[in-house]
């Protein structure tokens, strides 16, 4: 089922600025027994991302109604929410008073994600270098061609994720995830003020770490530094925290910290 | 009228990767008495841009049929063509064998464009700095949030265009145009190998200059250099070549070279 502005529909207007310019934002989250995980944080992020682009965010109640309607069909699934600036005249200038368009849909979460979380994954380093754009950095917007182009670099199905570096060689994240490294029990995650997407699960991990007194650093991480870390894990709302066990020629044993982080998330979600 | 894969429709699939990721490219061109201007060059550019993203470009004949059908309704108008990668499963990896979606529509060209061409325009320098991304540079793709954000910087209707600089302060283009400066009868236009859109009208101007023995340089252009130029003009398929007469505190008298360039284009289009 796909809901467009609350109504079941498989279509959106061809003149929507979402398709014309990628002028919108999105969320991906997990529906667990009909309940959207970390909903408060997802809605807060959606609000912030809409504000960054100057898009009027749909009311929380509209989205909650959409999610309830999707949950009735598929109580255990993934949910994707897209908010675009809506229909616009031709030209880049946003139309004043344009009505945002919201799309909500559910999709089956691949079974293999549980295996990824339990056993860890194999990743690679992408050749594409993410461009700097502080005006859009952190926002999960619909301009995702960099991710598409990076994801096109490999077809080997044993490789689950590709790490993205910026132009100066620092690690920014994965094509569909945020990245953490562990250095002597300290969590370190990339600074995303110049580029990258600051995901909700990343925020949750940072919050848990603070509450539990685990040191956390947000800073630049070179590939060399990452390769020397005790653990490497990636996060997103569908997989939670997922250890990278193999990255090119480097491999890591199963790590305690990733396991701990996953437990923080699972305990909160229970 | 909007044609989606050749059929009149105001809608596209909500699952199209055009809206999900801005995963596609587009063209804007002028229909003059039912004839698309510089069609050969526009189709060649569409082919090249699709190839850059790994999208199968629609056959020329399909697009020509679309344009003929639009021309029957509005023989003098603007035409926009969008080609997306089409419907995809969730996730960045392009689906093998996905069918590109093509959208063709016509729109009225604002009357004021003739005045812009005849009298020149006022422009400003945008604050947003365009990010480097050589993998996408030159391509007119659907990831246009930088242009949207730059265009949101002003509402003054007397300002027609905003110039975009890159992170090192070099001029890349306008929000909806390419940029040329004139230095002692030499044409100079920004190098677009790191970012920017290499438009068809820019290519046409470069071709005419070569044929007519006018020197042309493609290089980095600092804002200071641009401000010291004898003339500054912007190009796109709707306005042709349009002189910038006022840029912030700087103003230029009507320039001969811009006039000449416009005549090259007009003569060819006649």
List B residues 131-150 in contact with A (Cβ-Cβ < 8 A): 131-133, 135-136, 141-150
Please report the pLDDT score of residue A227 as a whole number. Answer: 98
Please report the pLDDT score of residue A97 as a whole number. Answer: 65
Per-residue pLDDT tens digits for A125-145: 999 999 999 999 999 999 999
| A144:B14 CB<8 A | no
Closest partner CB to B23 (pick from A23, A132, A148): A148
Q: Is the pTM of this model over 0.90?
A: yes
Per-residue pLDDT tens digits for A32-61: 999 999 999 999 999 999 999 999 999 999
As a whole number of angstroms, the distance between CA A256 and CA A263 comes to: 11
List A residues 87-126 in contact with B (Cβ-Cβ < 8 A): 90-94, 103, 105, 107
Closest partner CB to A93 (pick from B13, B145, B151): B151
pLDDT of chain B along its 270 residues, tens only?
999 999 999 999 999 999 999 999 999 999 999 999 999 999 999 999 999 999 999 999 999 999 999 999 999 999 999 999 999 877 898 777 668 999 999 999 999 999 999 999 999 999 999 999 999 999 999 999 999 999 999 999 999 999 999 999 999 999 999 999 999 999 999 999 999 999 999 999 999 999 999 999 999 999 999 999 999 999 999 999 999 999 999 999 999 999 999 999 999 987
Question: pLDDT at residue A19 above 70?
Answer: yes
Nearest-Cα residue of chain B relative to residue A132: B131
Whole-number percent of chain A with pLDDT over 90: 94
Q: Which residues in chain B have their CB less than 8 angstroms from residue A20's CB? A: 26, 82, 142, 144
Per-residue pLDDT tens digits for A142-191: 999 999 999 999 999 999 999 999 999 999 999 999 999 999 999 999 99
By the 10 Å C-beta count (0-12 exposed, 13-18 middle, 19+ buried), A61 is classed as exposed
Q: Any CB–CB contact under 8 A between B19 and chain A?
A: yes
Beta strand spans in chain B (E): 2-4, 7-8, 11-13, 24-32, 35-36, 77-84, 101-107, 121-130, 159-166, 171-174, 178-183, 186-190, 216-219, 231-236, 240-247, 250-251
Closest partner CB to A136 (pick from B90, B94, B145): B145
ipTM of the complex: 0.96
Tokens of A214: 């685990």
Q: Any CB–CB contact under 8 A between B169 and chain A?
A: no
Q: Any CB–CB contact under 8 A between A190 and chain B?
A: no
A222 phi/psi in degrees, rounded to 5 = -75, 160
Q: DSSP alpha helices (H): ranges in chain A? A: 17-21, 39-53, 60-73, 112-119, 145-151, 200-211, 223-227, 256-269
**A70, A105 in Cβ contact below 8 A?**
yes
B265 phi/psi in degrees, rounded to 5 = -65, -45
The answer for residues whose C-beta is within 8 angstroms of residue A228's C-beta and 6 or more apart is none
Please report the pLDDT score of residue B97 as a whole number. Answer: 65
Please report the pLDDT score of residue B36 as a whole number. Answer: 97
Q: Which residues in chain A have their CB less than 8 angstroms from residue B13's CB? A: 10-12
List A residues 61-80 in contact with B (Cβ-Cβ < 8 A): 78, 80
Tokens of A60: 């929380």
Band (A120; pLDDT cuts 50, 70, 90):
very high
Q: Any CB–CB contact under 8 A between A156 and chain B?
A: no
Q: Any CB–CB contact under 8 A between A24 and chain B?
A: yes
As a whole number of angstroms, the distance between CA A78 and CA A1 comes to: 12
Nearest in space to B178 (alpha carbons), one of B239, B125, B234, B244? B234
Please report the pLDDT score of residue A86 as a whole number. Answer: 95
A35 phi/psi in degrees, rounded to 5 = -110, 125
Distances, alpha carbon B267 to alpha carbons A123, B28, B205, B240, B260, in Å? 56, 20, 12, 12, 10
Place of tokens 């004021």: B112
Per-residue pLDDT tens digits for A51-101: 999 999 999 999 999 999 999 999 999 999 999 999 987 789 877 766 899
**B229, B223 in Cβ contact below 8 A?**
no
| A135:B152 CB<8 A | no
Band (A198; pLDDT cuts 50, 70, 90):
very high
Question: pLDDT at residue A105 above 90?
Answer: yes
Per-residue pLDDT tens digits for B45-60: 999 999 999 999 999 9
Residue B254 is classified by DSSP as -
**B65, B6 in Cβ contact below 8 A?**
yes
Please report the pLDDT score of residue A204 as a whole number. Answer: 98
Please report the pLDDT score of residue A220 as a whole number. Answer: 98
């Amino acid at each position: 089922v796909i809901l467009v502005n609350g109504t079941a529909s498989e279509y959106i207007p061809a003149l929507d600025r979402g398709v014309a310019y990628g002028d919108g934002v999105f969320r991906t989250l997990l529906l667990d027994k009909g309940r959207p995980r970390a909903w408060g944080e997802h809605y807060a992020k959606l609000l912030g991302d809409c504000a960054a682009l100057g898009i009027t965010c749909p009311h929380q109640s509209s989205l909650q109604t959409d999610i309830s309607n999707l949950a009735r069909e598929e109580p255990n699934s993934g949910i994707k929410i897209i908010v675009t600036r809506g229909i616009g005249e031709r030209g880049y200038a946003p139309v004043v008073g344009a009505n945002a368009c919201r799309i909500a849909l559910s999709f089956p979460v691949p079974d293999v994600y549980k295996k990824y979380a339990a056993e860890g994954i194999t990743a690679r380093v992408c050749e594409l270098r993410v461009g700097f754009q502080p005006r859009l950095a952190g926002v999960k917007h619909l301009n995702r061609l960099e991710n598409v182009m990076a994801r096109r670099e490999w077809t080997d199905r044993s490789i689950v994720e590709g790490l993205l570096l910026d132009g100066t060689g620092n690690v920014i994240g994965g094509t569909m995830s945020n990245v953490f490294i562990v250095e002597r029990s300290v969590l370190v995650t990339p600074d995303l003020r110049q580029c990258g997407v600051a995901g909700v699960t990343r925020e949750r991990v940072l919050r848990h770490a603070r509450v539990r007194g685990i040191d956390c650093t947000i800073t630049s991480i070179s590939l060399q530094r990452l390769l020397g870390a005790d653990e490497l894990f990636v996060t997103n709302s569908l997989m939670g925290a997922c250890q990278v066990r193999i990255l090119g020629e480097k491999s890591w044993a199963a790590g305690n910290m990733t396991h701990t982080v996953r437990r923080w998330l699972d305990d909160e979600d229970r």
